[in-house]
Amino acid sequence: DAKTTQPTSMDCAEGRAANLPCNHSTISGNEYVYWYRQIHSQGPQYIIHGLKNNETNEMASLIITEDRKSSTLILPHATLRDTAVYYCIVRVAYSGGGADGLTFGKGTHLIIQP
Amino acid sequence: DAGVTQSPTHLIKTRGQHVTLRCSPISGHKSVSWYQQVLGQGPQFIFQYYEKEERGRGNFPDRFSARQFPNYSSELNVNALLLGDSALYLCASSFVQSRTTQYFGPGTRLLVL
């Protein structure tokens, strides 16, 4: 799977949009971009994923650049409960019968300030 | 609908002992994956089970094993515990082996003394 690069930490004011970048310059055409977050000592929570089109759900929006080498996760109105570590993961669309384990990096620690 | 459940929530063991952790997937999901997360790191993939067969494993020794039951629940077994096995053990379930999103349980916190 392609490697991802994320900032170690970011701050955002409560009520503002939080924009979390992810670089995946070696992504290949059959790889999706997934985002998870992990609130302290809990299991990772799925947020959103996409292939090449922008995606939106009730939690967030995912913007993928046209060349697919980077993406941005947008939390439109951040609250204190959004403070967490956010992981950007690139994952093949089909593992061909082999294991399909996710490769987590260290993620971005997003701190929402009151 | 119930999410992925894991038991126990916390566990303390001594070096050399054996431990068994349990996971129940989301109803209808047939694949279970196990991850280890040590403090300060992201989760590391241990192995994945689908239709009761191991489909592959990460870089973990043979002391780590698992099985999946006909109801798709799973057990993770770790033999000859080392201090370095202290971690949060996470179970994730998905509908099938690949192409579908993995959903994580709350984890089991294991402390080896």
Inform me whether the pLDDT recorded for A10 exceeds 80. Answer: yes
Look up residue A92 and give its amino acid: V
Burial A77-96 (b: 16+ CB within 10 A, else e): ebeeebbbbbbbbbbbeebe
Q: In what order do the strands lie in the sheet with A18-23?
A: A18-23, A70-75, A61-64, A55-56
pLDDT band at A40 (very low <50, low <70, confident <90, very high): confident
Beta carbons within 8 Å of B8's beta carbon, 6+ residues apart: B21, B108
Amino acid code (one letter) for B36 = Q
Structure tokens given for A18: 């939080």
Is A10 buried (19+), middle (13-18) or exposed (0-12) by CB count in 10 A?
A: middle
B56 neighbourhood in chain A, CB within 8 Å: 98-101
Residues 10-69 on B with a CB inside 8 Å of A are: 31, 33, 35, 41-48, 55-58
Residue pair B2/B27 in contact by the 8 Å Cβ criterion: yes
Condensed to tens digits (0 to 9), the pLDDT of residues A80-95 reads 999 999 999 998 766 6
Q: Where are the beta strands (DSSP E) in chain A?
A: 9-13, 18-23, 31-38, 45-50, 55-56, 61-64, 70-75, 84-92, 108-113
CB B105 within 8 A of CB B4: yes
Selected for mutation to probe chain B from A94, A100, A103 (highest B CB count within 10 Å) is: A100
Q: pLDDT at residue A1 above 70? A: no
Tens digits of residue pLDDT in B44-66: 999 999 988 998 889 999 999 99
Low-confidence ranges of chain B (pLDDT < 50): none
Provide the mean pLDDT of chain B. 94
